[in-house]
């Protein structure tokens, strides 16, 4: 079946061959589920140091700060297609008793990227160096338990599903027997259906796809959630004599695997996990689908709601994320700023109510018990004022940026003028010296 996935690499757009494709994936899951190991496995290199993803407890014992740690890796496949893979790890996720704040950090980050695009779109002159930081896919790691989803899983997918392409994974698939894994997958999908969780289930337009693509889509849907096995270790071992098309029998072969007392397991073995299928879908066959879905459906909905001032998506989300700070040669790190997580309205407007996943904008006058604006629960007038305030804030931020740009341009011109004057003076001096000779 993986042949079908590989064959559909024809879907890839050739124009990206030279330029490289920018693709952003966020990996979310409770600590210990194997997030970092999965990232290293996906990238085929040590991108995240497993031992240094230390959890930093904050002032209270039950609160653990969630960090968003971004790394960029350049991947190139055998056809020379380059992918700038931005991968965001989420150390600290799910480690608090109350995970509301962690959900907010993630959703604020996603919204912030949309806000940046919105702002960029409204510029008279585009910034040629603008980087589209939108998250194209959020891989959500569900613990392999043999049961269905836990409350934290349901809540996360419910809240983030309308904003970003969430794909559920069952991690550490090697800890379940094949039957247990099958049951685990079925129970997870039953929960997804029961709670109406808006996951990315490889949607497609039947009228628009070839038979081959149709088979790929339906196959990918049928194996959701993808089961994965991760490893940080690469071993050299003799190739399996039965391996068709691979190195000759007996020839040493590098495998990324896990060593057990009874033997070594290859994470790329398609008979024991869906890792290779997932990697191909993510980085080859469905990379553009994920990007298109992000732009055409998710961002478009966000944009409509933000500009019409409707729904929970309105309002700037900039303060949620600190500006990027260098964490080394490869990456950037975002961490939550205490006390400056969201604007009051964005934080207090309830999100993720059942049914919210549809494009319909939830009303601003919030349901009972949930304040829609500070100090005035459910008051539509206060909500309207709040909305106006947010719009004003957005405009102010925009104005500030324009001012900064102007200032920069002015300084550039002044510097240029000084340079020209210097050149002029030097030429005059040289001419005078030449005259004296
Ligand atoms: N059995 C098994 N263990 C795994 C797998 N992936 C990661 N681990 C182990 O789980 C532990 C936590 O992994 P890590 O990647 O640090 O998890 P994180 O806290 O979610 O980033 C480490 O000891 C890993 O070796 C897997 O697929 N199977
Ligand atoms: Mg980690």
The DSSP string of 299-358 is IHHHHHHHHHT-STT-S--GGGSPPPEE-SSSEEEEEPPTT-SS-HHHHHS----TTTTS
Residue 231 confidence class, pLDDT cut points 50, 70, 90: very high
How far apart are alpha carbons 106 and 345 in whole angstroms?
17
Q: Which helix (H) or strand (E) holds 155?
A: helix 151-160
What spacing in Å lies between the alpha carbon of 29 and ligand 2's midpoint?
A: 9
What spacing in Å lies between the alpha carbon of 171 and ligand 2's midpoint?
A: 13
Strands 67-76 and 82-89 turn out to be antiparallel
What spacing in Å lies between the alpha carbon of 174 and ligand 2's midpoint?
A: 19
Q: State the average pLDDT over residues 264-288.
A: 92
pLDDT over 80 (residue 12): no
pLDDT over 70 (residue 123): yes
pLDDT over 60 (residue 328): no
pLDDT over 50 (residue 327): no
Does 239 or 75 have the greater pLDDT score?
75
What are 72's strand-pairing partners?
86
Ligand nearest to the Cα of 143, by number: 1
Does 379 or 70 have the greater pLDDT score?
70
Place of tokens 């929970």: 312
- Kindly list the distances between the CA atom of residue 188 and the CA atoms of 32, 126, 250, 408, 413, in Å, as whole numbers in the listed order: 20, 44, 41, 53, 61
Residue 250 confidence class, pLDDT cut points 50, 70, 90: low
Of residues 371, 362, 348, the one with CA closest to residue 309:
362
What spacing in Å lies between the alpha carbon of 91 and ligand 2's midpoint?
A: 6
| Half-sphere exposure for 378 (CA within 13 Å, toward CB) | 4
E strands along 127-177, which residues?
137-142, 166-170
pLDDT over 80 (residue 423): yes
Q: For ligand 1, pick from 29, 37, 171, 267 the residue to mutate: most ligand atoms within 8 Å of CB.
A: 37
Q: For ligand 1, pick from 31, 33, 34, 141 the residue to mutate: most ligand atoms within 8 Å of CB.
A: 34
Atom of ligand 1 nearest to the CA of 229: 27
Ligand nearest to the Cα of 141, by number: 1
Minimal-distance CA residue to ligand 1 atom 16: 50
pLDDT over 80 (residue 245): no
CB-CB contact of 142 with 149 (8 Å): yes
What is the average pLDDT score of the chain?
Answer: 76
Tell me: domain 2-230+267-305, CATH 3.40.50.300, correct?
Answer: yes
pLDDT over 80 (residue 219): yes
Which pLDDT score, from 0 to 100, does residue 9 have? 53
How far apart are alpha carbons 289 and 297 in whole angstroms?
11
Atom of ligand 1 nearest to the CA of 30: 20
| Half-sphere exposure for 192 (CA within 13 Å, toward CB) | 21
How far apart are alpha carbons 364 and 361 in whole angstroms?
9
91-105, 223-237, 385-399: least confident range:
385-399
What spacing in Å lies between the alpha carbon of 168 and ligand 1's midpoint?
A: 17
Q: Is 150 helix (H, G, I), strand (E, B) or coil?
A: coil
What are the extents of the domains in the chain? 2-230+267-305, 380-437
Minimal-distance CA residue to ligand 1 atom 8: 34
Of residues 268, 288, 271, the one with CA closest to residue 279:
268
Phi/psi at 82 (nearest 5 deg)?
-95, 140
What is the DSSP code string of 361-383? PPPSSPPTTS-SSTT-TT-HHHH
Does 339 or 67 have the greater pLDDT score?
67
Residues within a 6 A CB radius of ligand 1: 29, 31-37, 50, 53, 171-172, 174-175, 229-230
Atom of ligand 1 nearest to the CA of 267: 27
Written as six digits, the tokens of 403 are 């001012």
Residues 173-197: pLDDT tens digits?
A: 999 999 999 999 999 999 999 999 9
Atom of ligand 1 nearest to the CA of 228: 27
Does 345 or 46 have the greater pLDDT score?
46
What are 75's strand-pairing partners?
83
What spacing in Å lies between the alpha carbon of 85 and ligand 1's midpoint?
A: 21
What is the DSSP code string of 393-435? HHHHHHHHHHHHHHHHHHHHHHHHHHHHHHHHHHHHHHHHHHH
Which pLDDT score, from 0 to 100, does residue 172 have? 94
Which pLDDT score, from 0 to 100, does residue 382 have? 64
Q: State the average pLDDT over residues 397-409.
A: 82
């Amino acid at each position: 079946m993986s042949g079908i996935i590989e064959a559909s690499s024809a879907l890839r757009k050739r124009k990206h061959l030279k330029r490289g494709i920018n693709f952003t994936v966020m990996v979310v899951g409770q600590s210990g589920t194997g997030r970092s190991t999965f990232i290293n496995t996906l990238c085929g290199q040590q991108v995240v140091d497993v031992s240094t993803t230390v959890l930093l407890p904050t002032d209270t014992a039950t609160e653990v700060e969630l960090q968003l740690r971004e790394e960029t890796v350049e991947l190139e496949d055998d056809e020379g297609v380059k992918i700038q893979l931005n991968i965001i790890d989420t150390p600290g996720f799910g480690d608090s008793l109350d995970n509301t704040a962690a959900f907010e950090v993630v959703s604020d980050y996603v919204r912030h990227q949309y806000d940046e695009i919105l702002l960029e779109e409204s510029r008279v002159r585009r910034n040629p160096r603008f980087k589209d930081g939108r998250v194209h896919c959020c891989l959500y790691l569900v613990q392999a338990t043999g049961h269905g989803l836990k409350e934290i899983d349901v809540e996360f997918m419910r809240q983030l599903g309308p904003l970003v392409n969430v794909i559920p994974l069952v991690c550490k698939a090697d800890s379940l027997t094949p039957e247990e894994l099958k049951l685990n997958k079925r129970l997870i999908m039953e929960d997804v259906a029961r709670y109406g969780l808006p996951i990315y289930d490889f949607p497609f337009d039947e009228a628009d796809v070839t038979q081959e693509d149709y088979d790929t889509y339906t196959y990918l849907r049928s194996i959701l959630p993808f089961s994965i096995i991760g490893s940080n270790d690469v071993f050299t071992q003799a190739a399996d004599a039965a391996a068709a098309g691979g190195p000759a029998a007996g020839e040493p072969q590098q495998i990324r695997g896990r060593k057990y007392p009874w033997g070594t397991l290859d994470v790329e073995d398609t008979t024991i996990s869906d890792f290779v299928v997932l990697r191909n879908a993510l980085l080859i066959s469905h990379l553009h689908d994920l990007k298109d879905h992000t732009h055409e459906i998710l961002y478009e909905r966000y944009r409509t709601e933000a500009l019409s001032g409707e729904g929970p998506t309105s309002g700037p989300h900039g303060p949620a994320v600190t500006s990027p700070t260098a964490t080394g040669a490869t990456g950037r790190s975002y961490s939550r700023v205490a006390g400056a997580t969201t604007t009051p309205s964005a934080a207090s407007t309830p999100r993720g109510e059942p049914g919210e996943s549809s494009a319909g904008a939830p009303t601003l006058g919030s349901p009972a018990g949930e304040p829609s604006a500070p100090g005035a629960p459910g008051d539509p007038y206060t909500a309207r004022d709040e909305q106006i305030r947010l719009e004003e804030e957005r405009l102010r931020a925009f104005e500030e940026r324009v001012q900064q740009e102007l200032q920069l341009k002015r300084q550039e011109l002044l510097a240029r003028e000084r340079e020209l004057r210097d050149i002029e003076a030097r030429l005059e001096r040289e001419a005078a010296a030449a005259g004296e000779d």
